[in-house]
Amino acid sequence: MSNPETVLPEAARIAAELAPTYRDLHKHPELAFQEFRTAGLAARTLMDLGFEVTEGIGQTGVVGVLSNGDGPTVLLRADMDALPVEERTGLDYASTDRATDASGADVPVMHACGHDVHVTALLGAAELLVGCRDDWSGTLIALFQPAEEGGGGAQAMIDDALFEKVPRPDVVLGQHVAPLGAGLIGLHPGPAFAATDAFEITLHGRGGHGSRPELTVDPVVLAAATVMRLQTVVSREIAGTETAVLTVGTLHAGTKNNIIADHAILGVNVRSYDTVTRDRVIESMTRIVHAEAQASGSPREPEIVATESFPVLVNDPDASARTRTAFARVFGDEQVIDPGVVTGSEDVGMLATEAGVPLVYWLLGGAELEAFQAAYATGRLDALPSNHSPLFAPVIEPTLTVGVAALATAALEWLDERALPGV
């Protein structure tokens, strides 16, 4: 394994063996902090490979440690949780599972963000690295994290004394499957994924009969006006040279069409790359919510509750350059691209920040290559199902092979210098 040319063939062999595991994980997704089946599979596999395994960190997190002599400590991370989405891919291994979410609602569940790819690829990389342990020296940590989707999983593991239970790493590495062409790796140095803030906003009205709206304050109309006005925050208050996203993802009000409800609840998500822009968006959102409530004659002030928050993901520039060089040796320079900044968010950076070490986090292409190339050529990348879509389904190959090889290549680059020539 000291020759980079042997990484891809070995990864392909392992990925072929793990393809049934991937299909099984996809067919049986689990919501945040409910990943018991997935965590159990990860723990058993790591134990079979000879890792020292600790389970139940941050409720359902699993960490395996493989000590292999003196040298650096490298942490590879995969997230495990799925989403409350009803799958419409038509795959023969599509999920039909349902679960009870944190609010007590019965919901469909799907791996609509590709975390099943992440788990499978990390299991494969662990196997590959065990198989070539004569070629490297140091300590390998394989971390399977719960609850990335809500932004709470990394912090939960940290709060549960993660780095007292396992060694502090010298670098944190990971990847996220995306609708790039399969076979491509996207790595952007510096701020790479947006910060995210989520809010639950309760708008108060005065309920009554649908036939007598003059006696009420209709929170549905108030909510509709608020939603429309919030769309002006980014378009009219944020400079074109800055980047921000404000999304109203949920709106709940009422129980029947002839009843005017007494409140409406909005779920709002904000993405940003710097604190000045973030603060401006949140201040504008707050101002608009209160102003629309006053304009509607709301009997009570609205309530704005922050529910989720995690920071900008920053790829260490020097560490990214070093890792990119290793990727280029294995995959070819043309296969490693800079995708620019991503408006999606990730909490993996919290692990690196807590440990005080560099982070390198990249995108793993999962879209059928010809479809991606056609969409890119015509400027219609929106034609490809994106993460969180009920149609999102990464192609199994070469996604798994490249996913296994990328994690293993990055780990070898950061382990003892015997690992790859030219380090």
Give binding residues for Mn(2+) as ranges. 113, 115, 149, 176, 388
Closest CA to 180 of 314, 409, 337, 326: 337
DSSP state of 206: B
Element (H, E) at 363: strand 359-367
Q: Compute the distance between CA of residue 171 and CA of residue 261 in angstroms, rounded to an integer.
A: 52
Strand partners, 206: 217
SS3 (DSSP) at 127:
helix
Alpha-carbon distances of 408 from 104, 132, 144, 152, rounded to whole Å: 40, 10, 16, 27
The rounded distance, in Å, linking the Cα atoms of 109 and 208 is 36
Q: Where are the beta strands (DSSP E) in 80-146?
A: 98-100, 106-108, 138-145
Q: Are 101 and 145 in contact (CB under 8 A)?
A: no
Partner residues linked to 143 by β-bridges: 63, 77
Residues 139, 74 contacting (CB under 8 angstroms): yes
Known binding-site positions: 113, 115, 149, 176, 388
Question: Please, is 173 exposed, middle or buried when counting C-beta atoms within 10 Å of its C-beta (0-12, 13-18, 19+)?
Answer: buried
CA–CA distances in Å: residue 314 to residues 82, 233, 255, 362:
24, 25, 44, 11
